[in-house]
Each structure stands twice: as C-alpha cells, then as structure tokens.
Amino acid sequence: MPRFKYLYHTNKRKMPYSGLKDFIEKLEKTGELQRIRTFVDPILEIAELTDRITKNNGKALLFENTGTEFPLLINAYGSDKRMALALGYDDIASATDDIEKLFSLLSKPAGNLIGKLQSLPLFLKMGNLFPSRSESRGDCQKVVIPEPDLSVLPILKCWPHDGGRFITLPMVHTKHPETGSTNTGMYRMQVIDRRSTGMHWQRHKTGASHFEAWKLTGRKMPVSVTLGGDPVYAYCATAPLPENISEYILAGFLRKKKVRLVKCLTNEIYVPADADIVIEGYVDPAEPFFMEGPFGDHTGFYSLADLYPVFHVTCITHSLNAVYPATVVGIPPMEDAWLAKATEKLFLTPIRLAIQPEVTDFHLPEAGVAHNLAIVKIGKTYPGQGKKVINSMLGAGQMMFTKYLVVVSHDTDIRDYRAVARTIMLNTSPVRDILYQYGPLDVLDHSSDTFSYGGKAAIDATLKMPEEAYPGKEGPPMEAHVTEPAGLSDHKLPCVKTINTDLFKEGIPLIVIGANPSEDPGYAGMITEYLGGFDYKHFTLAVIVDHTVQVDDLLMVAWQALGNSDPVRDKWIHSGNLLVIDATIKYYRKGGFPRKWPNVVCSDYPSIESIDRKWDSLGLGGFIPSPSLKAMKLLRNGQDYIDETI
C-alpha cells in the first residue's frame, strides 16, 4: 500500500488560500483578474457587465467601487484555469488524479492482517484532513457589526424582473436536530429587509430535509451563512456528495489541509475560520413562508415566485480584508458551467466505483443547464448493457433529475456534439432504444405539467450487438452517406417560418423547424405528417422551436429544445424512423398549459446603455455588445412569465 503522501499529484503543492484576498492575489499574478475601479451599480449593472465578460471567456472581475466598503469578486470560477486554481491545482486533471487514487485505494479490500496494517497510515493521514472545531475566534470574526444590517453588503439584483436583491454565492450551514449531522449547501437568498431573507432550499435538498426535522421539534432552526474563504468551499457546497459526508472533508482533501471551524457568536453552528463574511441567524418553522422570487436562474428562464422559509439575521461578522463573492446565472454559457465541468471530472471515479464500473466518462453540456441533458460513455461488453446503465443512473443521487440521458459506446467523443448526434442516428431505433418514463425533475423545470415531476427520455445509442439487431423495418442502420430528401425544405405550411436542414450535409439527419404555434393549434401534428411524407431509410430527428429562435444557432436551439420540452408529452413518432420533438412554448398547446410559462432572462435597455456609456472607463479593452440584445428576440409579452394575453 503506498503511503498517503503519494496520493497527491507530483506537481508542486500550493498552500491553501486564507480568504478571498489570497485567491485574488493568485488570480492577479496569473493574469486572470481584471480590477474595475469605476463605480458599477450592484443593481442590474454588475450583472449586465459580467454577462458580457463571461460569455466571451473573459477574466475574473474585482469591482472595487460598489457603493459599500466591500469589493465584489465575480466570474472567479469562469475558466478551466481559474477553476483549477480555486481547487488548488495547476489543472483539473491533477485534482482528478488525486481523487481517483484515493477512491481506488479505499475500494481495494485489505484481505489480510498485513494489508490492513498497511492501510492504517492512510486512514490516520486522512483523519488529519477532517475538519476540526476550535473554541477560539477565527479571522471571519475579527469585525462584528453590532446592529446586523444586510445593506452594508453589495448584494446584487441581477435581472430586471428579479424579486429583489439576491445573495447568489452563499454557503448555508445547517445541522440535523437529532443526529447532529451537518450540511453546507448553496441556496440563493432574496433580501426581504435589512435583517431577513428568503431561504431557497428546494424540496430535494438536505437543507430542506433538516428544516422538516426541526419543524417536528417545535424549535427555531439555527442557520449560518458564509461568503468567501478558500474558494474550494464554494465548489464543495455544490458538489454531489452523499448526505452524510461533510463538504469540508472534500475541501480538506482538495486543499491538503484540514478546515478549521469556529463556533458562531449567536448560534451553535460551526463555520470556516477563514471565511470572509458570516451571516448568523435562524429559521422559525412556525412562521409563515415568504413569497420568494422571481429570479433569473441558471436555466436561462426566470424561476417563478414560490413560498420559502424566512431566514432572520442575528449577527454579521467579517474578516479585516473581506471581499464579497457573487455569481450571475442566466442563459448559458455562464460561470456555473465551469463548476459543472469540474464535477464531471472529479466525480467520474466515484460514479464508476460506486454505481457503474463500465462508465468511462460523462458530460453535462452547457445547453442542458446541469439537469436537462447528460451524456454517458461506457465500455460495452454484452447486449442490453446500455439500458442497464440507463436504469441505474436515473436513480443515482442528483442524476435522478436528468430529463434527457444519452448512453454511447467507448468510440464516441461525448464533447463533440455532432459526433454524439451522428452516433444517436446511427445506433438508435426510436421504437426500441428510447426509453420513456415519468420521474422527479428539478424544481426549476418549467416544461412539465406538474411541479418537479414529469417525463424523461433515455437513449441507448451504444453500438448494438447481434442479439440487439433491429428486425424488419424497425430502424435499420444509417447509411454511410445521408442526403436530404428532395423537396423537404419546400414546405407550404403557414405556421412554419424557417427550416434548417444543414446538418444533412454533415451526415446527420436532423431538422430544425421554426414555427409560430399561434397560427394553428394543430401545428405539431401537421408538421409531423408533412415530414412523415418523405422516405427515410434511417432514424431522423426533427425539433420544432418557436419562430423567434434562430434555427441556425445550434447552441440556442439545443438550449430551447431541452428546456421547453417534456420528453413524454412532446414527442411524435412517425413510421418508426421519424421522431419529432415539440420544443415550443406550451402556452399555445391545445387545452391550455396548466402552469405559468417563464420568460427568458435578459437585461433591459437602460442597463445595457449605462454599461455602453461606461465601457471606455472600465479598462476592459475592445467593446463587447450585450448578449441580451440577441436574447431579447425570444421575449414574449409579460415580465418574469408570459402573459396570457399574447
């Protein structure tokens, strides 16, 4: 058994960061930070500017003039390099190597006494990375604000129809009242007033589970929120860890030093000593809920207002050089995409060892906003293995929220989306290889008929073995050369405004149609019948999007298709080889859609024009226009949701 020190990558180790100030210095030394000294308003302007920078692969931004005493750091995780630096590595691959070695060692049985004795130093060393509790004060408690007041912080309002200001990068600390188990989760917090916020822990989250347990006790629930500290903490708060594993165990392993926790001043919660800012308080389960939201969310749509608990602030403390961290989410790609990419790499080994040994890679594309699409690669050795993986993964942890799941064989590059599309068309029968079911969805999914529950589709696009051969006409293999059927684009359907068949030229039989459903309630069936009139010798996929979507912008099409469709309700299959997915706004669906349909997230003209005027004073180089100018074409009447008068 190798000694524990050899678990770590041979690259020169870095000392863990002590607060965001250390991380900022590192970012600046590596050319990954841009300081902005001009005042940029936390109300709408910072988000508008950050959106331009993030979508153009720009640097982390440090706003030094926020109208408060606290500078604001944003887009700190928004590149592969910065994500690796946040974890304390030169590159993510090094962190992946460490995680893989650790889990491989832990999964090997020590079958005899000598093996067990050899394992002992490993576990003793691991114990030194477990978080420790200290009764003395930490750097995070150097300054105590005698009368807690959230207005001292540069809290953002990101988008025009947000319900107010939101703390967007909080680490929320809770504990179970009976077991004492702790959790650190990232749940947005809408400011209600100077001493209270909403607490958006969704029904599937551990924070909500702890809340339900506290409700049974009839007592107030202690809650503390930290901002900043070692940047690895924010990542660990988003990581898909088992409920009984402390986020600070993972943080200690990644930073190669245990996390020192200190007791809060007004409750029993312990928080990292090196946090920049601590907001202490409680949630009273007996108190009426607050109508929290709307909020421009990472789905690219507004999450609509709903009832959530109220968090009451009892104390605010901070370090001497505290920096306020924030993030902005919206239409992808945004900063959160790099957090998801890190999870892909770091948690591949645990998935392989704990769930499916045949999984060799998995990927969460940006257009799928974390839970709408997952692509999994496997080493296939027997018939039916793709479907076996599907059935297992759809019930594994946060994978249960996945709406579309695609499984491919080892020879497909799952980050080459054209290769994935080609593989699906080549290896899939719409009748036999797409499994439809109902199950839990992320609460942010707006396309299902019911809240947090709806349709799913899993595609077995693995190479088929002889036992899985397609009989008869049920989906023969795709021809080597795919051509667009003659006359396909010469439609005469009034509701169809645009059609894109360009992918046929690349051997991918995929059609994108822009339609205006308001012109004909039966648009989807009519389009399916029209397309079904052509002779397809292979699996062909057609996606219907709203006529406002630019059909040659495939990232936009994919994002709209994944977000705006329920895989069970919105599918149309014709003659066994043609699958049509209706990804239009469902307000127009015959019979009416039973839920409010959210508008897309984008800035407003005053904010855009304000940043345009300030641009030359910001030191950001060549002018970058607002991405919202393009997104505004997707807006419909209404504000956070589409008004029924359209």
The residues annotated as belonging to the active site are 297
Backbone angles phi, psi at 97, to 5 degrees: -60, -45
Bridge partners, 173 (sequence order): 184, 224
Neighbours of 112 (CB within 10 A): 9
Alpha-carbon distances of 638 from 274, 451, 542, 587, rounded to whole Å: 44, 21, 29, 13
Contact 635, 600 (CB under 8 A): yes
Q: Which pair of tokens denotes residue 238?
A: 């988003």
- With H, G, I as helix, E, B as strand and everything else as coil, classify residue 591: coil
The two structure tokens encoding residue 405? 């799941």
Q: Which amino acid, residue 572?
A: W
Rounded to whole angstroms, how far apart are CA atoms 368 and 329?
A: 14
Number of helices (H), then strands (E), belonging to the chain: the values are 16, 30
Q: What is the DSSP letter of 598?
A: B
- How far apart (Å, rounded) are the C-alpha atoms in residues 378 and 429? 19
The amino acid present at 542, given as its one-letter code, is: A
Spacing of C-alpha 353 from chain mean position: 23
At residue 330, the 3 state secondary structure works out as coil
Could you say which DSSP state residue 239 is in? S
Half-sphere exposure of 252 (CA within 13 A, CB side): 19
CA distance linking residue 396 with residue 409, whole number of Å = 20
Q: Which residues of 210-242 are buried (b: 16+ CB within 10 A; e: fewer)?
A: bbebbbeeeebbbbbbbbbbbbbbbbbbbbebe
Give exposure, 124-136, as e/b (b: 16+ Cβ within 10 Å). Answer: eebeebebeeeee
**β-bridge mates for residue 225, sequence order:** 172, 279
Measured CA to CA, the distance from residue 270 to residue 260 in angstroms comes to 9
Residue whose tokens read 């209600």: 192
Q: Give the list of residues 6+ apart from residue 353 with CB closer than 8 angstroms, or none.
A: 103, 104, 107
If you write DSSP's letter for every residue of 7-21 in order, what string do you get?
Answer: GS-SSPP-PPPSSHH
Q: 3-state DSSP: the chain helix, strand, coil percent, rounded to 5?
A: 30, 25, 45
Q: How far apart are CA 155 and CA 42, in angstroms?
A: 7
Q: Which residues contact 324 (CB under 8 A, 6 or more apart)?
A: 66, 68, 70, 71, 72, 73, 153, 154, 155, 227, 228, 276, 277
* 8 A C-beta contact, residue 292 and residue 337: no
